[in-house]
Amino acid sequence: MTSAPDTTGAAAVPVYTKKDFTSDQTIRWCPGCGDYSILAQVQTVFATLGVPREKYAIISGIGCSGRFPYYMETYGFHTIHGRAPAIATGVKATRPDLAVWVISGDGDSMSIGGNHLIHVLRRNVDIKILVFNNRIYGLTKGQYSPTSELGKRTKSTPMGSIDHPFNPLALALGAGATFVARSVDVFPAHLRETVEAAHHHKGTVFAEIYQNCNIFNDGAFKDFTEKGVRDERVIEVKHGQPLVWGKEVRKGLVIRDARLEPVVLGDGVSEADVVVHDEKNPLLAAMLAHLDPAHAVPIGVLYKVDRPTYDEMFQAQLNEARQKLGNGDLHRLLNAGDTWKVG
Residue-range domain boundaries for the chain: 2-220+308-312
Instruction: Enumerate residues 6+ apart whose C-beta is below 8 A from 287.
Output: 255, 259, 260
**Residue 183 predicted with pLDDT over 80:** yes
Residue-level pLDDT at 328: 79
pLDDT (tens digit per residue) in 27-37 = 999 999 999 99
Residue-level pLDDT at 240: 98
**Residue 293 predicted with pLDDT over 80:** yes
Residue-level pLDDT at 14: 79
Other beta carbons within 10 angstroms of residue 243's beta carbon come to 24
Residue-level pLDDT at 262: 95
Q: What are the C-alpha distances in Å from 121 to residues 128, 194, 207?
A: 10, 18, 12
- 194, 219, 229: which is closest to 208 by C-alpha? 194
Q: Which residue has the higher pLDDT, 336 or 157?
A: 157
Buried b (16+ CB within 10 A) or exposed e, 41-61: bbbbbbbebebebeebbbbbb
Residue-level pLDDT at 131: 98
Out of 3.40.50.1470, 3.40.50.970, 3.30.70.270, 3.40.50.1360, which CATH number does the structure's domain 2-220+308-312 have?
A: 3.40.50.970
* Average pLDDT, integer, range 253-282: 94
**Residue 50 predicted with pLDDT over 70:** yes
Q: CB-side exposure of 42: number of CA atoms within 13 Å?
A: 30
φ, ψ for residue 129, nearest 5 deg: -110, 120
